[in-house]
Structure 1
Amino acid sequence: MPIVYSEKEASLQEVVTIQEVDDLLEWLLANTDASIDLAECRHLHLAALQTLASARRKVSAWPQDEAFKGWIKPLLTTGE
């Protein structure tokens, strides 16, 4: 399962494809104070990245892959 949801956090794991975007958006809208854990994520479909960027959520853990982290961190940093 590419995304594991709880009330307080969504943990994106391995490869998140376009098929997960609708559920991710629905979860983000229903859990407005929740954060995102990207520690185990290796790839995000652009639609998933855009969904996360527009949600402006706190990222509780960044990807372990430094190159991937360097690419997405500026796009997902909320300034908090």
Structure 2
Amino acid sequence: MSITYRKTSAVFESLVSVEDAEDLLQWIQKNPQGNVDLSGCTHLHAANLQVLMATRIAVVAWPKDTVFKRWLTSALK
């Protein structure tokens, strides 16, 4: 798993694959006031991006890579 689920946040690390999308959606549905930390994420499969876009969950930390960060912020804001 490349997502660590905590009580109020989901922490993304490295490559987040399509296999993570269903668990991510279930966690967000159970924790609608939660947030995501993308600071350790280097690649995000489109299925996970769709979950983040559809649920509009708060992002508390963006990826370190500036191009990836710019791409994600434009998609999620």
TM > 0.5 between the two? yes
RMSD: 0.7
Deviations 1:10-54 (A, max 9, x none): 001100000111100100100000001000000100010010111
Q: Which amino acid aligns with 1:73?
A: T
Q: What's 1:26 paired with?
A: 26
- d(CA) in 2 for partners of 1:30, 1:74: 26
Query: Please, which runs of 5 or more residues in structure 1 have no aligned partner?
Result: none
Q: Quote the sequence identity (%).
A: 39
How many correspondences in the alignment?
Answer: 77
Q: Which has the higher strand share?
A: 2
Normalising by structure 1, we get a TM-score of 0.92
Query: Please, which runs of 5 or more residues in structure 2 have no aligned partner?
Result: none
4+ residue stretches of structure 1 with deviation over 2 A?
none
